[in-house]
């Protein structure tokens, strides 16, 4: 099977617009399916996989499409984590001003239960969360905008997670939310007592004690 390079690489925002379907909340572009989650600012992105006898090819990120359809942002740093065991919990993390981060998360090996919590004070979904299972097999990604706390639980050993962020890591702005806060009601796939996590993540504060770091709708667009 021969794949014309022009077909693979020549992608335009005009073509993307043609395939958008706002009426059902699913936005279908030539190389990516973009869906709103229960909190619409968070998105599930599934790239189109092109396979042949050699293997596969897919476009995992398109700057023009992302800025046109999802958020007008630029990514400045890529992060990569490896968790040796299943049941590792990382989170719930976020950065505050002046270096808040939006995140585009995907898995390159293994799988995770991914969580984003709306912490924008005044938001109609404040304190609520969305979840998605991301795996190397599905190629799906989740966009988590500014104003959300993010975390995940690994579902299998040797899971690797890559995420692009919209601002640089700034330790002075690094904050967290307790992953098993009962007020959040997150249905983690493991018992919290058996989670493998850092001492820092065990010590995060609960939602009821969280200062108003983000406000709605001013924050959360990036």
Instruction: Write the secondary structure of the chain as one string of H (helix), E (strand) and C (coil).
Output: CCCCHHHHHCCCHHHHHHCEEHHHCEEECCCEEEEECCCCCCEEEEECEEEECCEEEECCCCHHHHHHHCCCCCCCEEEEEEECCCCEEEEEEEECCCCCCCEEEEEEECEEEEEEEECEECCCCCCCEEEEEEECCCCCEEEECCCEEEEEEECCCCEEEEEEECCCCCHHHEEEECCCCCCCCCCCCCCHHHCECCHHHHCCECHHHCCCCEECCCCCCC
Q: Could you say which of 93, 129, 150, 204 is catalytic?
A: 93
Task: Note if 169 is an active site residue.
Answer: no
163 is catalytic: yes
Please tell me which residue in 31, 129, 150, 163 is annotated as part of the active site: 163
Positions marked catalytic: 93, 163
């Amino acid at each position: 099977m021969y794949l014309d390079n022009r077909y693979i690489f020549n992608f335009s925002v005009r073509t993307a617009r043609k395939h958008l379907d706002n009426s059902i909340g699913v936005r279908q572009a030539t190389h990516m399916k973009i869906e709103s989650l229960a909190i619409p600012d968070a998105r599930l992105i599934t790239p189109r996989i092109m396979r042949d006898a050699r293997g596969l090819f897919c476009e995992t990120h398109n700057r023009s499409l992302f800025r046109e359809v999802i958020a007008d942002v630029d990514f400045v740093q890529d992060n990569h984590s490896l968790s040796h065991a299943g049941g590792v919990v990382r989170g719930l993390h976020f950065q505050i001003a002046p270096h808040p981060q939006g995140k585009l998360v995907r898995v390159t090996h293994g799988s995770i239960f991914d969580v984003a919590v709306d912490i924008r004070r005044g938001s109609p979904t404040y304190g609520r969360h969305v979840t998605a299972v991301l795996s190397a097999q599905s190629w799906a990604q989740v966009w988590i905008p500014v104003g959300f706390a993010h975390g995940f639980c690994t579902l299998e050993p040797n899971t690797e997670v890559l995420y692009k962020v919209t601002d640089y890591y700034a330790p002075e702005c690094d904050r967290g939310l307790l992953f098993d806060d009962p007020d959040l009601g997150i249905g983690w796939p493991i018992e919290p007592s058996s989670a493998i996590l850092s001492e820092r993540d065990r010590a995060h504060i609960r939602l009821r004690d969280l200062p108003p770091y983000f406000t709605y709708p001013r924050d959360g667009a990036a």
